[in-house]
Amino acid sequence: MLNAERAPVTGRKVQLMATCLCDAFYDDVAAATVEVLEHLGVEVVFPEGQTCCGQPAFNGGDWAASRKVVRHTVRTFAGEDPVVIPSASCAAMLFHGAVLEFEREADAAEVSALGRRTWELADFIVNGLGVKTWPGRYEARVALHRSCHSRGTETVPAAQALLGSIAGLSLVEFGEAEQCCGFGGTFAVTFPHLSSAMGELKLEHVRAVAPDEYVSPDMSCMMHLGGLAQAEGKPIRARHLAQVLRDALKGGPRS
């Protein structure tokens, strides 16, 4: 497991890293994350100085630039409280990618310490807090996306456990579920035709089972597939896991 060594969760206070995509495109995901955590009795602190996890530069091979961003993140999220992120991709960057790029750096221990207390949202709820089921009701057939960065972590099993326990919600499986959606951050910009082809294949498999919603723990995948579907003139309802959990508490999907 990528994140097998974890700092134990001993309190009910967390720091929220909202990610660049929440800031630029999905503010409601950040709001939903706060509502979900507060429902569980968790105090949410939002460090104002937060920017990015450093993943774009890391994936692009500019590790020197990425380290600058990661060092800022380490300073911004100082302390002992868990850092919760509504993004499997950004969480994996901090507990896996950042650790790799700091192996020979003097401050490697500080980066590793941040990684050990970094959690993706579903993983934190199920494995950090020990919450195995979710209350409320949500009448929908849901296709759950397994993002690449959630591989080797507990994110997908945790998301399946929570979604599968909601009254009225039915999880539907689709073909080639483990395949990449084609986004890959800068990959989508560098190889747009290949990226689009991968995304369109993913959409074919999803549409074949006719879900009401396509749900992901990663906003980047939502953005990529939702954009492709819109461009094709066949939009899909793509939602983040936090939005589904929040709306289940209120009786069902929002329009």
For residue 2, name the pLDDT band (cuts at 50, 70, 90).
low
Length of the chain counted residue by residue: 255
DSSP state of 149: G
Specify the pTM: 0.94
Rounded CA separation 20/38 (Å): 22
Token reading at 69: 């961003």
Are 215 and 242 contacting, i.e. CB atoms less than 8 angstroms apart?
no
Domain ranges of the chain: 13-128, 137-249
Amino acid identity for residue 162 in this structure: L
Q: Domain 137-249: which CATH class?
A: alpha beta
Q: List C-alpha distances in Å: 201 to 29, 90, 111, 195, 205.
A: 26, 25, 37, 10, 7
Q: Is residue 152 over pLDDT 90? A: no
Q: What strands lie across the sheet with 13-16, from one edge to the other? A: 43-45, 13-16, 83-85, 118-120
* Chain segment 189-234, per-residue pLDDT in tens: 889 999 999 999 999 999 999 999 999 999 999 999 999 999 999 9
